Structure 1
Amino acid sequence: MQAPYASDPATSRGRLHDEDESTFRSAFQRDRDRIIHASAFRRLKHKTQVFIEHEGDYFRTRLTHSIEVAQVARTIAGALGLNAELTEAVALAHDLGHTPFGHTGEEALSALMAPYGGFDHNAQALRIVTALERHYARFDGLNLTWETLEGIAKHNGPVTGVLPWALAEYQTKHDLELHTYASAEAQVAAISDDVAYNHHDLHDGLRAELFSTDELGKLPILDRCFARVDEIYPGLNYYRRRHEALRRFFGLLVEDVIAVAQRSLAEIQPASAQDIREAGFQMIRFSEPLFQDLKVIRQFLFTRMYRAPTVVKMRAEVTRVIDELFPFFMAHPDNLPKQWRKDVEDAEDETALARIVSDYIAGMTDRFALQCHERFIGGGEAAAMRSVPVG
């Protein structure tokens, strides 16, 4: 049974382009399904989470990360009486706008796009689902509901100040009320992202042997998890021991979020989804003590994983790939695929062309970006970049 503050598909604010309702799926279910079937969602399979062109099937990709986020989000949504389909839709879409090579690629593209309005992966996700997915006869994009678009745009909180150009452009024709907080479902998707990566980056870092199990056992929260495993299973082999500890760590994060949310909900007693938006604070969050402990863990990961010497070297290499592809396509837009050339013909100025090139590069997978660089510029990066984390 859904809570009164849950988003109700029956009272959705609708879609930019009117459509007949499905006879067997809710509006939010259709949104989720359209996201799963989108080309951009499939491309996440070959986009970096932390490790580029990894060998084997163990390290997370942007796709497996998104699936893990959706799983956590559905769990929390269920515990809080929220709409699971809307929560899952936002969770699955939240990383659609990421560039190749993870945050390193985004930093490179942001610098290149600074003269043309910048680049922001959240705004790019909105752009993908409202403009760049071009499969339907009647409209560009996926024509998602207002609630799902709102969640994609502001799941991390209100968006104020100078807006990323992609977000500002869409806002002129479809007001997403960027000054307020998002629905509880979108807030759950946001915190589930934090839960997922705080867990799986530790797991992937261990597998890559960037740090040891003993080092993890000295970190806050994790020290208790390892101690509990040792108490219940003395003498457990190292692989099962670390998995059990990380499993408990994962569970503690989820339990903390649910407990904080339940206290906040009991305090303000929201009677509608709009009451959540107007509460004036991010209601779905970690407790302050746990958040402070996570800051210690994140600093450990930053030092030992995201900025390890081998990683710093690889960050420079993949940054060069983006830095050289962008000016190449700006100077030679005729090398863009055929379906992109009509947009180039319609581009009125250099800014419009830069945004087309940015859309194209941002949509690339890691391997396709390397292939394009080798084809058009040369350098043979592909063979040198396997199984290396780039942060």
Structure 2
Amino acid sequence: MTADIGFGAQALAVYAQNPFESRGRLYPEPESPTRTPFQRDRDRIIHSSAFRRLKHKTQVFVYHEGDHFRTRLTHTIEVSQIARSLARALRLDEDLAECLALSHDLGHTPFGHEGEDVMHECMAPFGGFDHNAQSLRVVTHLEQRYAEFDGLNLAWETLEGLVKHNGPLLDPDGAPLGKFRNSELPFAIRDYAARQDLLLSTWPSAEAQAAAIADDIAYDAHDLDDGLRAGLFAIEDMREVPFLADILSEVDGKYPGLEESRRIHEIVRRSITRMVEDVIRFGMQNLDELAPKSANDIRMAGRCLVGFSDAMTTAEKEVKRFLFARVYRHEDVLAVRRLVARVVRDLFTRFISEPDLMPKPWNVGLEGLGEEATARRVCDYIAGMTDRYAIEEHRRLFDDTPDLG
């Protein structure tokens, strides 16, 4: 591996993001005497209103279905733990990796991906909805707590990683990539990019890449866990996935007759361990081959360096296919998704036609906003709701609120 940079007791690789060489904040502030810029960002994220609301936002199972299923908050904490582990092993800045893990879902709507799908449908005339772009909007505009600026005024590296942790959003000529290839970048990203250049055509830092793959690892393993505990499939069903079958055989061989709850836990934790160790091995291999001399070399590498090997990529896709069929498309889950979709759609339709029904401060200054700006105000309001609050708002406005219990 390449040489180290010493920061007190911590030694980072030369390709890690040096917190003392940050590109700064949109609104300049005096540096903290006790925290690096990324430690300060982490603290601002944790103390934000949007972070607290994750406690009552759906991951897969809606809040009423049980206290032991993951919420957006518990998922986020699990992602941050994995991201820090990856960063530590690869000698990256753990605080930046943690920042990005903690902030990656701040823009999610209530009711998980169903809420996002409905919001995208409702906002289609105005460019659609993307939770990643909404996360940027939350931390740069919607969190209004500080006296001197809107948003959290996070460091450039945090915003960059938040926006493009899954890869470049633009090609070198400025054309949108990936899911935006046939459209345009979401409003929130275009709006902020006009104020601060986040280098949207390059790859993000290695810390952002670690946070992105940590998200995949966490939700794969824990959706398996929640699906099993919800009874959506049986342990033996996992044998149809070679990666899981191998782990199951390993567990049963070492602990024959193990009670089901412990058996589930062994499967889940070994899944996480195998995936994490694969990313570390493959990441080290990639970094040794490239021999980057700076964090900027990571951005200019032209490919992801912190991710799964080819073999694990195949295995992980098989896990995702299993989860799609057995969990996300399970009739019990779909039945609830249909109900909550109506809640989000009803709220959007009512507030668009009667925006003054939104409470303060959302209903203030609506005169002369125009259709698109009004729709964005409504979208921001609904996207920030918890599951519970969305149900309460529906009950306030409608007489036929679905019974999720």
TM class by shorter chain equals: over 0.9
CA contact 1:343–1:356 (8 Å) conserved in 2: no
Partner of 1:365: 386
Partner of 2:87: 77
Of the candidates 95, 99, 106, which is equivalent to residue 89 of structure 1?
A: 99
Partner of 1:271: 293
Partner of 1:129: 139
Percent of matched pairs sharing the same residue: 54
Q: How does 1:23-172 map to 2 (within 5 A)?
A: 23-160=33-170, 161=176, 162-172=184-194
- Aligned partners of 2:223, 2:365: CA distance in 1, in Å? 39
- Aligned partners of 2:121, 2:329: CA distance in 1, in Å? 20
Q: CA distance change for structure 1 residues 222 and 12 in 2, over 3 Å: closer, same or farther?
A: same
Q: Larger relative contact order (C-alpha < 8 A, sep ≥ 6)?
A: 1
User: Structure 1 length normalisation: TM-score?
Assistant: 0.96
Give 4+ residue runs of structure 1 displaced > 3 Å after superposition: none
CA contact 1:106–1:119 (8 Å) conserved in 2: yes
1:219-274 residue CA offsets vs partner (Å, 9 max, x unmatched): 22111112112222222222212211221111000001111100000000000000
CA contact 2:352–2:374 (8 Å) conserved in 1: yes
Superposition deviation, residue 179 in structure 1: 0.5
Of the candidates 269, 281, 298, which is equivalent to residue 247 of structure 1?
A: 269
- Aligned partners of 2:277, 2:210: CA distance in 1, in Å? 13
Q: Provide the secondary structure at the position in 2 that maps to 1:342.
A: coil
Superposition deviation, residue 379 in structure 1: 1.2
Q: Provide the secondary structure at the position in 2 that maps to 1:54.
A: helix
Root-mean-square deviation (CA), in Å? Answer: 1.1
Superposition deviation, residue 116 in structure 1: 1.2
CA contact 2:63–2:71 (8 Å) conserved in 1: no
Superposition deviation, residue 337 in structure 1: 1.8
1:76-123 residue CA offsets vs partner (Å, 9 max, x unmatched): 000000000000000000000000011100000001101112111000
- Aligned partners of 1:315, 1:80: CA distance in 2, in Å? 39
- Aligned partners of 1:363, 1:322: CA distance in 2, in Å? 12
More displaced 10-residue stretch of structure 1: 218-227 or 245-254 = 218-227
- Aligned partners of 1:305, 1:56: CA distance in 2, in Å? 16
Q: How does 1:318-337 map to 2 (within 5 A)?
A: 318-337=340-359
More displaced 10-residue stretch of structure 1: 10-19 or 210-219 = 210-219
Q: How does 1:172-321 map to 2 (within 5 A)?
A: 172-321=194-343
Structure 1: stretches of 5+ with no match in the other structure: 387-391
- Aligned partners of 1:111, 1:343: CA distance in 2, in Å? 26
CA contact 1:222–1:246 (8 Å) conserved in 2: no
User: Structure 2 length normalisation: TM-score?
Assistant: 0.93
CA contact 1:47–1:102 (8 Å) conserved in 2: yes
CA contact 1:53–1:385 (8 Å) conserved in 2: no
Superposition deviation, residue 343 in structure 1: 4.4
The number of equivalent residue pairs is 383
